[in-house]
Amino acid sequence: MTTPDTAPLAVTQVAELGRRVLDEVGTAVVGMRDTLEIALATLLAGGHVLFEDVPGLGKTLAARSLATALGLDFARLQCTPDLLPSDITGSSVFDPASRAFEFRPGPVFTGLFLADEINRTAPKTQSALLEAMAERQVSVDGVTRPLPRPFHVVATSNPVEYEGTYPLPEAQLDRFMVRLAVGYPDREQESEVLLRRVARRQEAAPVSSVVDAAMVLAMQAGVEAVEVDRDVVRYCVDLAAATREHSSLEVGASPRGSQNLLLLARAVAVLDGRDYALPEDVKRVAVPVLAHRLTLTPTAWASAVRAEDVVRDLLRTVAGPATVARA
């Protein structure tokens, strides 16, 4: 989240720094280039990321590597059923020396907060992140405390294990700009993972900082300075509106969905070196932005229809603009 006093970087500078960040992350994370680019674009657009996939695919490593390459403070919290909201936000502790309560900040007071296996903690604790994600602040003991800038949440979720888990409520899912799936690597990529582990002779995969927190704010301001053609805006609205009328969906995407679709398409365009967004940018990010905001009807769910398939179907049927002018 930027402020008016943050000087924006030029589009070419943002694109170059973004490429260097992705290259640096690529020294630790094998493959996942497209997924990492969308994750980086999400952070530059001011959003939060939900990685939903099976364990062992490098989601935590990707989040830590992104934080390091971006020069952000990083905190990781392993979510468990007995986790309390104060374990995230912090709490007031009595200090016998001063005979007063002193606030001890929780791990959420950082630049990039990783909530690992967020669906393993109870809804009460999950809701402790809602204010942080929406307002970039937390309220503890009646006092509102701002979080550092920039602040972003990257959460991971295991979609195949249901025992001892709590599905994320729709309100919290809606706060994530994207939901990304890593997927299994191919044989070549998996072999590269093993070879790199043997070559570095240690578990840790070192990553160097490319920028710092102040530069990240300037990159975000550079993305915010990009205008968007009205036809691209209308295309985002048409896609979101189509989800509200689809026969397989009980609940469609809200205006927050169409807004996030536009913001992320703009960030993807900037990382591609363009100061204008194209319908292709919207199509590229439509599935990760919209799918997790949709609720299937019982009939569609029983027929094994997936929300991702519905979005892809809409991308084929909803007409986009024929031409787009540079903003």
Concatenated DSSP letters of 205-270: -----SS-HHHHHHHHHHHHT----HHHHHHHHHHHHHHTT-TTEEE---HHHHHHHHHHHHHHHH
Q: Which residue ranges make up each domain of the chain? A: 11-215, 227-317
d(Cα 90, Cα 153) in Å, to the nearest integer?
16
Of the candidates 121, 113, 118, 139, the one whose C-alpha atom is nearest the C-alpha of residue 83 is 121
3-state secondary structure of 177: coil
At residue 303, the pLDDT reads: 86
Residue 24 vs residue 304, higher pLDDT: 24
Based on its alpha-carbon atoms, the radius of gyration of the chain, rounded to whole angstroms, reads: 20
Q: 131 pLDDT exceeds 70?
A: yes
Residue for token pair 């936000």: 89
pLDDT at 289 over 90: yes
Residue 169 scores a pLDDT above 80: no
Give the range among 65-79, 162-176, 285-299 with minimum mean pLDDT.
162-176
By C-alpha distance, which of 70, 176, 203, 182 is closest to 115? 176
Cα separation, 285 vs 18, in Å, equals 17
Q: Is the pLDDT of residue 326 over 80?
A: no
Q: Which fold has domain 11-215?
A: Rossmann fold (3.40.50)
Helix (H, G, I), strand (E, B) or coil at 162: coil
In this prediction, residues 114-143 reach a mean pLDDT of 86
Q: Which range has the worst mean pLDDT, 25-34, 44-53, 259-268? A: 25-34
**For residue 3, pLDDT beyond 60:** no
165-194 mean pLDDT? 85
Per-residue confidence (pLDDT) for residue 162, from 0 to 100: 64
CB 211, CB 21: distance < 8 Å = yes
Q: How far apart are CA 66 and CA 20, in angstroms?
A: 11
* Adjacent-strand bridge partners of 104: 91
| Nearest Cα residue to 320 out of 275, 291, 290, 278 | 278
65-114 tens-digit pLDDT: 999 999 999 999 998 888 888 889 988 888 888 878 888 888 999 999 99
> Is 140 or 49 the better-scoring residue by pLDDT?
49
Which of 65, 39, 43 minimizes the C-alpha distance to 52?
39
Two tokens at 12? Answer: 């070419």
To the question of domain 227-317 being in CATH 1.10.8.80, the answer is yes
**What pLDDT, on the 0 to 100 scale, is given for residue 327?**
47
What pLDDT is attached to residue 217? 94
Q: Give the helix/strand (H/E) hosting 105.
A: strand 100-105
What pLDDT digit, counting tens, does each position of 264-287 carry?
999 999 999 999 999 999 999 999
Query: Which of 25, 220, 62 minimizes the C-alpha distance to 136?
Result: 220
